[in-house]
């Protein structure tokens, strides 16, 4: 093997390792929350955020913007 082949393999390996490291940093740094926010919101589950006394249907643990509100699921 010549030096050029070893250098090319090394560069490719280092690039792949860098991609893996950046991906792990992205996932574990909290930046991945951007993707889960939309799926955990009350509105995305056909619910309505309201006071507990106003809810006539079942409730859910999905997120509401106001901490005093609960996620009330609409009955169809």
Q: Tell me, what's the pLDDT at 3?
A: 62
User: Is residue 65 in some structural domain?
Assistant: yes
Q: Tell me, what's the pLDDT at 30?
A: 65
pLDDT digits over 2-43, tens only? Answer: 666 678 889 999 999 999 998 888 777 766 566 555 667 787
CA–CA distances in Å: residue 26 to residues 15, 21, 47, 62: 17, 9, 30, 24
User: Is residue 73 in some structural domain?
Assistant: yes
Which domain, by its residues, includes 23? 1-31
User: Is residue 8 in some structural domain?
Assistant: yes
- Record the pTM: 0.46
Same domain, 48 and 75: yes
User: Is residue 37 in some structural domain?
Assistant: no
The count of domains in the chain is 2
Cα 52 to Cα 54: distance, rounded to the nearest angstrom: 5
pLDDT digits over 36-69, tens only? Answer: 556 677 877 778 888 888 888 888 888 788 778 8
Q: Tell me, what's the pLDDT at 63?
A: 79
């Amino acid at each position: 093997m010549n030096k050029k082949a070893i250098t090319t393999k090394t560069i490719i390996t280092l690039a792949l390792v860098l991609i893996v490291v950046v991906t792990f940093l992205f996932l574990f740094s909290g930046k991945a929350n951007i993707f889960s926010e939309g799926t955990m919101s009350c509105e995305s589950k056909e619910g309505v955020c309201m006071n507990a006394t106003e809810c006539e249907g079942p409730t859910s643990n999905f997120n509401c913007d106001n901490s005093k509100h609960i996620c009330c699921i609409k009955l169809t």
